Structure 1
Amino acid sequence: MVAVGRRTSYIYSVCPSHEARGCPSAAMQLLFARSQRDSGQASVAWRFTAQPKEHRMVDQIPRMGRGNQAPGQPPRNASGLITTGVIALIVIAVLAWLNPFYIVQTGTVGVKQSLGQTVGTIEPGWDIVLPWQNVVTYSTREELKRFTEVSAFSKDVQESKNIVSVNYRLDGSRAADVHKNLGRNFAEKIIDPAIQKRLKEIYSRYDATEIVRKRELVGKEVEQQVKENMPPGVIVQTVQIENIEFSAAYTEAIEAAARAQAEVKKTEQELARQKFEAEKVVVNAEAAAKARRAQAEAEADAIRLRGEAEALAIKARAEALKDSPALIQLTAAEKWNGVLPQTMVPGSAVPFVSVPTNAQR
């Protein structure tokens, strides 16, 4: 049987036949050296001695040393462990009560303040915030701000009511500057007056009719001016003019002017059509005249050619008659129908072809 104490060393001598305490003839002695206070572990040394087997003895010798205590007393480090546990529980309770851990959600950024001074930003995730510190959270997502009645005058002094929408967001890396210079209501402090000012400036450059006709161009100019005049950290994505409304009387005048302009365009189109038709008629007439002239020229050429042919034929016949006088009588005979005249005038000759005599032959 062996007993071990943390701060007490025991020596057991065992004899197989005697139980006398302090017998020097122990068969074996076990020496448990004292345990070390710092490490809390016992160093053990074994010592064997050859003794007669007829003796048996158990000897317990307490050895007091540094960090050891007498048998029967509780270990001295038990109270230390209890104290450490109590302190740990107190620390955990204090941390739970103070709750120094702060979580920043996705799509937001935290601005940390210490004793009223801005000391930095906290990205999405967790951070430790001390009791004298606080965190102001800002959204970094794109936000929509809509203005329903923005008043502006045109160049010809016509008032308009406008509906304008603005998409903007906060630059998380500049959130501390925005918080320090503008505060949580930075949109109302910066974007609202910017829309009012830039819309009035740009509308004053155009007449009312131009604003209506060039609505997209005017909207682009307003958007560009608003973007360029935002402070660092505030990013304007888009500016859109959703609706432009003038007074009822002016709207009616604009509609009447639009109708008149439409009529003018319609008349111009009709005149253009008529001009086209007239030009078409002229072109057709010129084409017909040219065709007739070409036809007349062709006919004249045909008549001339026929006259020249007949002249040539007459000339040839005359030459033939001159050379052959009997040819005339032959021609007359060819044209005679064989009927003599019924009435004869006294002294007139019978119109007939003379027949040559034998002598003439």
Structure 2
Amino acid sequence: MRPSQIVGAVLAFFVVVFALSLTGGSFYTVDEGERSVVVNQGKIVSVSGPGFHWKTPFLDDVHVISVRTQAVEFKEEPVYTADRQTANVTFSINYAAVPSDIEISTLYREFQTLEGFESRALTRQAREQIKNVFGTFTADTAIRERARLNTEVAKALANLGEGLVKVEGVNIENINFSDAVERAAEDRAKAEMLVQTEKQKLEREKVLAQIAVTQAQAQADSQLATAKANAEAVRLQGDAEASAIKAKSDALAQSPNLVELTKAERWNGALPQTFVPGSAVPFLNLKN
């Protein structure tokens, strides 16, 4: 075979291979937010992430599974409360497939697609769990404690899908009880509000009474303390005066001439100008 014939044969081979690649699809791309499951003759051979990939023409099949957030809405789902009241609940669940190779392979193996997962697992499990949660609430508490109800529902639905998906959010959009149940709950709420108002008034009156008692006790204590202080001052003054009198008495007893000495000290040296007949001249003792 001449060289030109060999070159032609090689070119023809590559042309055939290229044509087969185009018609059989030997390459594929995966977008961000997606994963692809490559299946060869019914068997999973690999899971591919975002980017450009090759596959065996005519033998490999590529199945794309989104890992973006999905939303499922449940409209007017019937539930029963602990006191056997019926309600229709509208709620929604946001979830996303776990993007790891093992979980994506398991998801494809068991459900093929996200739609299959929703219809065969998520929907059934969500309905069952929300009924269980409502069964722990009475109609009254379900209406009045909406935040706690939402929390309990979110906890119950957090593990849907057995790890194949991640629940990102649960939102209860509406709870529709009968008019009679809603009126009864409203009446109970009003009655309890009145009771709480009266309790608050009573507590306020108790506080004011305690304040008045405390003030009166403080005033009484103050007056008692003042009286005690005054009495103590009088007692101390009396003790001082008594001590002074006793001291003078003792001094007089010990010095009989102390009175005369005091008179002399206070005399200015002048004799009285007039005398009462028969009286003695002051301070003059003519006795030897």
What's the TM-score, normalizing by structure 1? 0.55
* Aligned residue type for 2:44: V
* Aligned residue type for 2:98: D
Is there any run of 5+ residues in structure 2 with no aligned partner, and where? 242-275, 281-288
Would the aligned equivalents of 1:102 and 1:129 in 2 still touch at CA under 8 Å?
no
Q: 1:111 to 1:272 in 2, by over 3 A?
A: same
* Aligned residue type for 2:183: E
- How far off its partner does 1:260 sit? 1.4
**1:97 counterpart = 2:23:** yes
Would the aligned equivalents of 2:159 and 2:167 in 1 still touch at CA under 8 Å?
no
Would the aligned equivalents of 1:104 and 1:122 in 2 still touch at CA under 8 Å?
no
* Alignment match, 1:226: 157
**1:261 counterpart = 2:192:** yes
In the TM superposition, what are the counterparts of 1:307-322 in structure 2 within 5 Å? none
* Alignment match, 1:201: 132
* Alignment match, 1:211: 142
Equivalent residue for 2:104, pick from 175, 180, 197: 175
Q: 1:291 to 1:82 in 2, by over 3 A?
A: closer
Equivalent residue for 2:81, pick from 154, 157, 171: 154
- Greater share of helix: 2
Would the aligned equivalents of 1:142 and 1:168 in 2 still touch at CA under 8 Å?
yes
Equivalent residue for 2:47, pick from 114, 118, 122: 122
Quote the RMSD (CA, aligned, Å): 3.6
Q: 1:277 to 1:106 in 2, by over 3 A?
A: closer
Q: 1:217 to 1:81 in 2, by over 3 A?
A: same
- How far off its partner does 1:358 sit? 6.8
What's the TM-score, normalizing by structure 2? 0.67
In 2, Cα distance between equivalents of 1:301 and 1:78: 140
Equivalent residue for 1:107, pick from 33, 56, 70: 33
In the TM superposition, what are the counterparts of 1:129-140 in structure 2 within 5 Å? 129-140=56-67
Greater relative contact order (CA < 8 Å, ≥ 6 in sequence): 2
**1:238 counterpart = 2:165:** no
* Alignment match, 1:280: 211
In 1, Cα distance between equivalents of 2:172 and 2:153: 9
* Alignment match, 1:331: none
SS of residue matched to 1:112: strand
- How far off its partner does 1:102 sit? 2.0
Would the aligned equivalents of 1:111 and 1:118 in 2 still touch at CA under 8 Å?
no
- How far off its partner does 1:302 sit? 10
Is there any run of 5+ residues in structure 1 with no aligned partner, and where? 1-36, 38-75, 310-356
Q: Deviations over 1:147-198 (max 9, x none)?
A: 2323322211222333323221112412232222122221222111111111
Q: 1:143 to 1:219 in 2, by over 3 A?
A: same
How high is the sequence identity, in percent, across the aligned residues? 24
- How far off its partner does 1:269 sit? 1.3
- How far off its partner does 1:286 sit? 4.2
- How far off its partner does 1:143 sit? 1.9
Would the aligned equivalents of 1:146 and 1:163 in 2 still touch at CA under 8 Å?
yes
User: Who wins on radius of gyration, i.e. which is larger?
Assistant: 1
- How far off its partner does 1:113 sit? 2.9
- How far off its partner does 1:201 sit? 0.8
